[in-house]
Chains A and B, each alone.
Chain A
Amino acid sequence: MGQKVFLGILAILILLFIASPVFVVLPLSFSDARGIDFPPESYSLRRFRDFFGATEWLNALWTSAKVSFFAILIATPLGTGMALGLVRGKFFGRKLLNSFVILPLVFPTLIYGLALLFLYRRIGIYDSELGLVLAYIVVGLPFIVLITAARFRSFDESLELTAMSLGANWWQSFFKVTLPLTWSGIAAGAIVAFIIVFDELIIALFITRIQEVTLPVKMFNSLDLDVDPLLAVVASFLIINSLILAGLAALFARVRHE
């Protein structure tokens, strides 16, 4: 009993530690002061007003949203197809391939960014939205593959076999049986990948310069000169965005299709 209470308290402490930036950044973004003051002496919405008046911040937000959205839009069907192949496929080397899926997750981002920089300069998509979208498809893909593959693995194959024995070809079986019963897992994968891609910094630093500044890059750059108090607002914005999406992903992960 005492052990369980201890573990519970430990878990809460760890969670608080992980979440501690939230408790700094959120109050800061509501501060009324001109500079950084923590804890704030008075609160107001002034910084939010400033943020939504600052076009460069809004542009960066818009770029990030656009780029992430299209990257995930393309990565989701791709990743779903790959996951299906990994789980249901009958080809030589499937087991080996399964163990390679997490490779992109541990591959050094710096190297990837550098390689893309050389490649993009050569083919002329350096500092472009297209370049960002392509890079982020690759960044988001493994998350989608991992999460949807887990969903497919727990999916009862006899449902697909039954559908096909009843006359459905592979596509009909997928769209009438598999997809309606697994879309929530795919959605969860897409959302997680979106969160990852949305605040990606390092690769963006390598492959963009002036034209296409994403929100994380803009934040990073604004650190150079002086600490812009608007950063707190942006950070709050990112945190809330992530929380909502993560909540949604968790919700989807729990959907039962009955």
Chain B
Amino acid sequence: MTARPLAPDPRAATGRGENVVFRGVTKRFGDEVVAVDTMSLEIQAGEFFTLLGPSGSGKSTLLNLVLGALRPDEGEILVGGEPITSVPIHKRNIGMVFQNYALFPHMTVFKNIAFPLGIRRMAKAEIKQRVEEVLDLVQLSGFENRYPSQVSGGQQQRIATARAIAAEPPLILMDEPLGALDVKLRVEMQEQLRLLHRSLGVTVIYVTHDQDEAMTLSDRIAVMRDGRIEQVGTPREVYEQPANSFVASFLGDANLIAARVVRQSDDGVELATRGEPGMVLRVPSDAGSMTAGLDEDVYCMVRPQRIDLTSAHPAGPGDGDGMHNLLPATVEAAYFSGTEIRYLITTDHGDSLHAISAIEEGREEFAAGDGVIARWPVEFSRLLSS
């Protein structure tokens, strides 16, 4: 792979991304640790792809394999169709942004961003023009002569991004690039990154352990655990149709109700909660990546936002209309947070659940000790393996 010539206007340059394919990639550290385990994955050209997972799940290792800082023990990685495992780092033309930004402290902002251009022996005037362009893109014009130590953390982040895109690599890797910033700034920077990605059209592989960030930014997310991918999908898919209880819990709050399959039919699966008497829960038939056998132990998953609480009196418990699941419960605690109330409830059969309800005119509010009915549409129930 050779460096591509610079487009005259970076904002006009779309569709410059390259796809990335992992074929059975494994990386071990010593005899014990398998940081990346026979991973196969295809990332589309121009996609904003996020590796999401808890600390130690192998995200950075995977990124470093693409970057070339590490070599896989097995498997092959292809960028733009070309195998890259034996290409040295400096010939890969991949932009990298580390969590600590890795700005060269002995160089000014200008020199930092000009670094990849100088290495490519670009003419002085061109370098100057290109540095101005990318600084403008990250809204830092006028910072050319500062040193990295003389700008704020958020600005350092943008300088690192500007430097990574200066030579127009078709692929950019970012390892928790916003991890060191405070929440407010992080949200701002997420928007900027999203816009930047749109205007550049490059492929981005982004690493984070923050599920909100992953969902805000990404075209697709790979949820990782212990060096393996648990699920790949759009933010909506992984959130609403998690493949298993790990993914469900990792992507925001999930209520997991232990249950047993009692009946299967075309229009759904019927579950019975543990304990006596078992309450009936319905799950749509397409609402699970698993096919559950009769009598199998499973989880019924529902997001707290989907659960509606009503007073116990109008209908009898379990008196479903076929469209809703109903569980009688007692409020343990209610937390007020300005726009919503978060309830902790215990169902009569012993499960602890969260329910979140928006504060609205005419909506019932409850206090600890109140008896309630937890009610949610069948379509928002998911069947997960236990």
List residues of chain A with CB under 8 Å of any chain B CB.
Answer: 156, 158-159, 161-170, 172-173, 176-177, 180-181, 257-258
Contact = CB atoms under 8 A, between A and B. Distances in A.
A161 B95 CA distance: 11
Given A167-B167, A176-B115, 10 more contacts: A156-B100, A156-B102, A162-B98, A163-B104, A165-B95, A166-B119, A169-B88, A181-B106, A258-B105, A258-B148
Contacts, number: 69
B163 interface: yes
Contacts of B3: 167
A160 to B, nearest CB: 9
B69 A161 contact: yes
Nearest to B166: A166
A172 B119 contact: yes
Contacts of A258: 105-106, 147-149
Given A164-B89, A166-B119, A167-B119, A257 B100 contact: no
A158 B98 CA distance: 7
B96 A165 contact: yes
A158 B163 CA distance: 14
Contact of B106 (A168, A172, A257): A257
B220 interface: no
Given A168-B90, A169-B90, A258-B105, A163 B115 contact: yes
A258 B92 CA distance: 29
B94 A165 contact: yes
B167 A166 contact: yes
Contact of A165 (B89, B104, B105, B149): B89
Contacts of B164: 165-166
Given A166-B119, A166-B167, A258-B147, A161 B90 contact: no
Interface residues of B, number: 28
A176 B111 CA distance: 11
B85 interface: no
A158 B105 CA distance: 13
Contacts of B88: 164, 169
A181 B105 contact: yes
B119 A257 contact: no
A165 B95 CA distance: 6
Interface in B57-111: 67-69, 88-90, 92-96, 98, 100, 102, 104-106
Contacts of B67: 161, 165
Contacts of A166: 90, 95, 115-116, 119, 163-164, 167
Contacts of A180: 106
A220 to B, nearest CB: 46
Interface string B115-154: 1100110000000000000000000000000011100000
Contacts of B104: 159, 162-163, 177, 181
Identify the interface centre among A161, A167, A168: most chain B CB within 10 Å of its CB: A167
A165 B102 CA distance: 12
A167 B102 contact: no
Interface in B24-54: none
B108 to A, nearest CB: 12
Prevailing SS type, chain A contact patch? helix
A180 to B, nearest CB: 5
Contacts of B106: 180-181, 257-258
Most chain B C-beta atoms within 10 Å of own C-beta, residue among A159, A165, A173: A165
29 contacts: A156-B100, A156-B102, A158-B98, A161-B69, A161-B89, A162-B96, A162-B102, A162-B104, A163-B104, A163-B115, A164-B88, A164-B89, A165-B68, A165-B90, A165-B92, A165-B94, A165-B95, A166-B164, A167-B3, A167-B90, A167-B93, A167-B167, A168-B119, A176-B115, A180-B106, A181-B104, A257-B106, A258-B105, A258-B106
A258 B105 CA distance: 5
Contacts of B69: 161
Contacts of A156: 100, 102
B189 to A, nearest CB: 19
Contacts of A159: 102, 104
B90 to A, nearest CB: 5
A167 B120 contact: yes
A254 to B, nearest CB: 16
A86 B147 CA distance: 31
A102 to B, nearest CB: 25
Contacts of A164: 68, 88-90
B120 to A, nearest CB: 6
A87 to B, nearest CB: 15
Contacts of A161: 67, 69, 89, 96, 98, 102
A156 to B, nearest CB: 7
A172 B88 CA distance: 14
Nearest to A173: B90
A176 B105 CA distance: 12
> Across chains A and B, which 4 residue pairs bring their CB atoms closest together, nearest first?
A166-B116, A164-B89, A158-B102, A167-B119
B314 to A, nearest CB: 61
A170 B69 CA distance: 12
Interface string B1-39: 001000000000000000000000000000000000000
A207 B116 CA distance: 52
A166 B68 CA distance: 12
Which one of B89, B93, B119 has the greatest number of beta carbons of chain A within 10 Å?
A: B89
A76 B112 CA distance: 29
A193 to B, nearest CB: 25
A158 B167 CA distance: 19
Nearest to B100: A158
B293 to A, nearest CB: 50
A59 B120 CA distance: 53
A163 B160 CA distance: 12
